[in-house]
């Protein structure tokens, strides 16, 4: 595309519901959690003793744990899922295979906790899986199941027909995508990586960088000939990618902008946590492109971030401003704490701040306010690990709808500045405040 990248604009252009993945002053995550701190207005009265809070009510009921998957015969990378409930709330969950080391799981929505398992590291045959969960009273519930591995069998065929997720239809994406050619548009996804082998995402990965292998910090380039460092071990990044640009074919799902290409930055580890520094570096690298020079044709056109935390950093803000100055459109989730203000980086000026709605056009109960646009974010179906599909909720799921619309806007208006594209997208909303893709391609 021929974008006016020389015009410098100084105006600033994994979230699952109730996630346990935190973003502190040093860490970023798929979800935001509100910090609670003791403070007083004015000066505290030093003569008044500060009493400790009363002890929490005694609870002895352990969480109820049900293993949903894996069961039966499996192969390749599979989703480990548990349905876990507790009367005072589950605080953590993990699993192990054959009495091996425990691996942390992430809360996706409601009682759904998930992780991923690469079965190619296991021998073919029968295996046991243990799952456990704890609550705030330190009660622990457990469950044990079995499954079998056969990695000599061919992978299951993709679904025989394509589904258009309700959110894609709701924002009029199919008609908008049919009106433009977005094959030259690049969306940079900063998340947990990508299942680049997924048949609905084939050929979309171009370049990227990984700051994590598993849950261990690293710094590795990802290329089309060596994409492995950017492989998604969580599922969140793959889900986001499918909503942005799953292929329009005869199976699976279709995304908002089916022809777009991806830069993938694994700025979050397999548990969904990551450092602010990794996020900031990902933004800068996406802006500069593979040639390392901002303002050139290989720069990302859109950056999508379904992540957030309670505060920002100077490094993160500088990276945001750098991207905006070079006409990159930044789209970020507001967060899932039902708070009155967005999380960071969505809170920064110039970032498109995306809140979530349900199928009835109601703002989702968990969606932080202060949004500049709304999009479908409840019960969103998209691509998942191992060539599968998953339905989950969060402002993380709303954000890629808008990132895809921004890509369609660039395809229609290649000479616009980044600020003009942002204004066009934020203004393309219906009477409910929900983004309407058809309004950016006219």
Catalytic residues: 191, 236, 396
Measure the CA–CA gap between 442 and 440, rounded to whole angstroms.
6
Q: Are 90 and 167 in contact (CB under 8 A)?
A: no
C-alpha angle 15/318/314, rounded to 5°?
A: 80
Q: Are 272 and 193 in contact (CB under 8 A)?
A: no
Q: Are 116 and 80 in contact (CB under 8 A)?
A: yes
The residue to which tokens 């009835």 are assigned: 360
- 10 Å Cβ neighbour count for 5? 17
Q: Among residues 263, 308, 310, 309, which one has the least CA distance to residue 283?
A: 263
DSSP state of 157: P
């Amino acid at each position: 595309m021929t974008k006016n990248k020389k015009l410098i604009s100084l105006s600033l252009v994994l979230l699952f519901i109730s996630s346990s993945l935190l973003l502190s002053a040093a860490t970023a995550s798929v979800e935001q959690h509100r910090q609670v701190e003791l403070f007083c207005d004015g000066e505290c009265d030093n003569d008044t003793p500060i009493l400790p809070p009363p002890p929490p009510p005694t609870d002895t009921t352990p969480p109820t744990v049900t293993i949903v998957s894996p069961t039966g015969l499996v192969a390749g990378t599979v989703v480990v899922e548990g349905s876990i409930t507790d009367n005072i709330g589950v605080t953590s969950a993990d699993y192990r295979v054959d009495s091996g080391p425990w691996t942390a799981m992430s809360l996706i929505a409601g009682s759904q906790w998930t992780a991923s398992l690469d079965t190619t590291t296991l021998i073919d045959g029968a295996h046991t899986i243990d799952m456990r969960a704890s609550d705030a009273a330190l009660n622990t519930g457990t469950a044990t199941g079995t499954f079998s591995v056969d990695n000599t069998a061919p992978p299951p065929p993709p679904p025989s027909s394509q589904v258009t997720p309700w959110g894609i239809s709701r924002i009029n994406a199919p008609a908008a995508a049919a009106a433009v050619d977005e094959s030259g548009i690049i969306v940079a996804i900063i998340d947990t990586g990508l299942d680049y082998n997924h048949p609905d995402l084939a050929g979309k990965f171009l370049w990227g960088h990984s700051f994590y292998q598993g849950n261990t910090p690293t710094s590795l380039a990802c290329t089309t000939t060596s994409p492995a460092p950017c492989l998604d071990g969580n599922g969140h990044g793959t889900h986001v990618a499918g909503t942005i640009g799953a292929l329009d074919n005869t199976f699976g799902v279709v995304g908002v902008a089916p022809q777009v290409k991806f830069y993938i930055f694994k700025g979050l580890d397999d548990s969904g946590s990551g450092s602010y520094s990794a996020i900031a570096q990902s933004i800068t690298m996406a802006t500069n492109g593979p040639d390392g020079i901002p303002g050139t044709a290989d720069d990302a056109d859109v950056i999508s971030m379904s992540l957030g935390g309670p505060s920002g950093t100077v490094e993160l803000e500088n990276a945001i401003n750098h991207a905006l100055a070079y006409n990159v459109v930044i789209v970020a989730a507001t967060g899932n704490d039902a708070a009155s203000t967005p999380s960071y980086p969505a809170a920064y000026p110039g970032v498109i701040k995306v809140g979530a709605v349900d199928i009835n056009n109601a703002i989702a109960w968990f969606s932080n306010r202060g949004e500049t646009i709304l999009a479908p974010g409840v019960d969103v179906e998209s691509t998942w690990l191992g060539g599968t599909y998953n339905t989950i909720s969060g402002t993380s799921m709303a954000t890629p709808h808008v990132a895809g619309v921004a890509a369609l806007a660039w395809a229609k208006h290649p000479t616009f500045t980044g600020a003009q594209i942002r204004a066009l997208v934020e203004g393309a909303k219906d009477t409910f405040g929900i983004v309407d893709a058809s309004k950016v391609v006219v």
